[in-house]
Amino acid sequence: MVAGELVQEHLRADIGAPDDITVGRKGPQLDGAAERYGKPSYGVAPAGGVGETDSDLEQEKELPPDEREAMLPNGGGGEADEEGGKALETRLYWRRFAVLTVFSLYSLVNAFQWIQYSIITNVFTQYYEVTSDKVDWLSIVYMVVYVPLIFPATWLLDRKGLRLTALLGSGLNCIGAWLKCASVGRELFGVTFTAQVICSVAQVFILGLPSRIASVWFGPREVSTACATAVLGNQLGTAIGFLLPPVLVPNTPNDVQLTGRNISIMFYGTAAVSTGLFILTVIVIKDRPPRPPSQAQAVLPDSPPEDYSYKQSILNLMKNKAFVLLLISYGIMTGSFYSVSTLLNQMILAYYENQELNAGRIGLTLVVAGMVGSILCGVWLDYTKMYKMTTLIVYSLSFLGMAVFTLTLDLSSIYLVFFTAGALGFFMTGYLPLGFEFGVEITYPESEGTSSGLLNAFAQIFGIIFTLIQGKLTTVYKPLAGNLFLCAWIFLGTLLTALIKSELKRHNVNLGADSNHLQALPVEHPVDCPSKEKTNGVELKPSISRETSV
């Protein structure tokens, strides 16, 4: 039955059949959408055919005919809006690349600060004279802080927009980095822990943004690649976090002063880079472009604050069975990655003594391979739109990669560990943007920030549980026991992924399949509507094409 469902998804992605989407607007005109993009005439083609002139950074890029055809009903050939007699218009701006780059870079620095302690656990335990579990908590705190703060963070993203959220993420990351510079004294472990808490709060305003940036700034044929690239920045930060700390802070147990100087150099360098990126964030990042990049963004209603219910949005998501299955499976996979990353140093040193530098290089190999996997998966999704099939295949191969890594770790071949870690990272880390984009597809038109925030919250919860349990198993028994524990959970996640019913809602709107399936339905009080049929300002109705059930 699962195979039949995957074939159905592939066929629907090819023919663009609409799937359970009827978009309702606040009113019969486009005023709400205009306010959403900051222009009273948003989405309406000027009578003379002449667009506005923007700054050099926002030079408009006309869409090619084939992309416009995919984005607008009936090819976008000047079809009139039913009410106003004016055509919807979408644009792509060069500024989107600057927004994506700046976000990816400060996300990189935040991820670097997450792993910079764990990969040289033995150095920090000797320097601060603490136990290894306390150093582990410098990584776990990222997960603990995320869970309670994700709900106010996603509410802020929905209400105040992308720019303020980005400023908070970049700003707090900068503050935490400078506070670490004041924590180099051996008796100041509490200060460095406080600084790490601030950086972990910054992460709350970072992890949920890739899908939002991709959706509001990028076109339908590049949105998955853009999301993968945004996630790539965080992965690259983890990779650099594996590589640089062992080089900048080598293990010198007989020279504590030298260790302190090396730690200070690492902290001050991070703080300087964080400051520069915060300034760029202030200059570059905006809430959204003047005109929307895709039809899916163009038709979204702009519910005024008094009508929008964040609570209702959460309830709608939690009543979506496919999304709940994705929450659990995404949490298992990403939590496993967090656990492996945190405990990698301890796993490697358990079998290969005095290999701190190689432990960092193995971590680098794991993440760099995952970065390649992320980009390839993003490009593949943009080309095929085969979300479930791709997700299930990558999940299954991640399980096989974890099993091989577990069974070959103790074979006394460090080069074999490099290879198996690379294979594991290619699929496990490559899965992260797949989960984001799949979540957006099956929950459209709910906020991308809300769905991504919930996915990350479950990832942090599973990450905390897995890290604590695997760490205990690794310490009391051997790394083999902890890794087998993760293998069992990843296998369960594979089964749950196979049960997800794929409904490519956003994709069908972008295809603009048939105006009979894309109707404007006024929804005056979205909060009062049954969540099974309606979301905040958008009504979902069954269409002709339905997914084959499992």
**Contact in structure between 351 and 519 (CB atoms under 8 Å):** no
Q: For position 504, what pLDDT does the model report? A: 63
pLDDT of residue 110: 93
pLDDT at 308: 54
pLDDT at 105: 93
Q: What region does 49 belong to: left with phi over 0, alpha with psi -120 to 50, or beta?
A: left
Neighbours of 272 (CB within 10 A): 14
Instruction: Give pLDDT, residue 505.
Output: 63
Query: What is the pLDDT, as a whole number, of residue 234?
Result: 84
Nearest Cα to 41, choosing from 75, 14, 9, 81? 81
Structure tokens at 197: 């808490």
- Contacts of residue 11, defined as CB under 8 A and 6 or more positions apart, other chains included, come to none
Identify the sign of the CA torsion 500, 446, 10, 383.
Answer: negative
pLDDT value of residue 367: 81
The class level of CATH for 310-515 reads mainly alpha
- Residue 501 has what DSSP assignment? P
Q: What is the pTM of this model?
A: 0.62
Q: What is the dihedral of CA 180, 184, 187, 192, to 10 degrees?
A: 20
Residue ranges matching CATH 1.20.1250.20 in the chain: 91-295, 310-515
Q: What is the pLDDT of residue 192?
A: 92
- What class is the 91-295 domain? mainly alpha
* Rounded distance between C-alpha atoms, residue 512 and residue 77, angstroms: 12
Alpha carbon distance 397, 419 (integer Å) = 15
Q: Which residues of the chain have pLDDT under 50?
A: 1-35, 38-87, 302-305, 513-534, 539-550
Q: What is the pLDDT of residues 96-151, one digit of tens each?
A: 899 999 999 999 999 999 888 888 888 898 889 888 888 888 888 888 888 888 88
